[in-house]
């Protein structure tokens, strides 16, 4: 028998399992919180695009430029392609009430949201 095993408390195995469970739960909560913040960010960017296009009347060239500038400013981030910026716009248009985004839609991953508003018509 291992000398180390003799020195461990009798409840060590259960304690270790408990800590592992807490680590996994904390990691899951952190991922959900990060996803919720990212969804909120995407919604706000989409709403800004909608509002500015309505007031200023600009088109897709500004979206192209915005995507390039954001990718340059945040090279470690993905999600600022022209297509994704247009998805953000469509997302904000589909769910114009931010309360819905915060409560329900914000809990889904971005890819699931894109599927919802691109495939569901009602």
Inter-residue contact 9 to 15 (CB < 8 Å) = yes
The tokens for 43 are 């919604």
What are the domain boundaries of the chain? 33-119
Least Cα distance to 113 among 89, 92, 91, 86 occurs for 91
pLDDT value of residue 7? 86
Cβ partners under 8 Å of residue 91, min gap 6: 42, 43, 46, 113, 114, 117
Inter-residue contact 40 to 102 (CB < 8 Å) = yes
Inter-residue contact 53 to 59 (CB < 8 Å) = yes
Task: Please give the model's pTM, rounded to 2 decimal places.
Answer: 0.81
What tens-digit pLDDT sequence spans the chain (122 residues)?
556 667 899 999 999 999 999 999 999 999 989 998 999 999 999 999 999 999 999 888 999 999 999 999 999 999 999 999 999 999 999 888 888 877 777 778 888 888 888 887 76
Residue 79 main-chain phi, psi, to 5 deg: 115, 5
């Amino acid at each position: 028998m291992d000398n180390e095993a003799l020195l461990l408390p009798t409840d060590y195995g259960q304690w270790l399992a408990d800590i592992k469970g807490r680590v996994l739960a904390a990691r899951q909560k952190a991922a959900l919180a990060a996803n919720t913040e990212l969804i909120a960010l995407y919604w706000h960017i989409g709403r800004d695009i909608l509002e500015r296009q309505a007031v200023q009347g600009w088109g897709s060239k500004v979206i192209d430029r915005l995507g390039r500038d954001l990718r340059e400013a945040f090279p470690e981030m993905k999600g600022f392609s022209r297509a994704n910026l247009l998805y953000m716009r469509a997302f904000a248009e589909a769910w114009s009430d931010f309360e819905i985004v915060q409560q329900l839609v914000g809990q889904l991953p971005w890819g699931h949201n894109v599927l919802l508003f691109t495939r569901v018509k009602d």
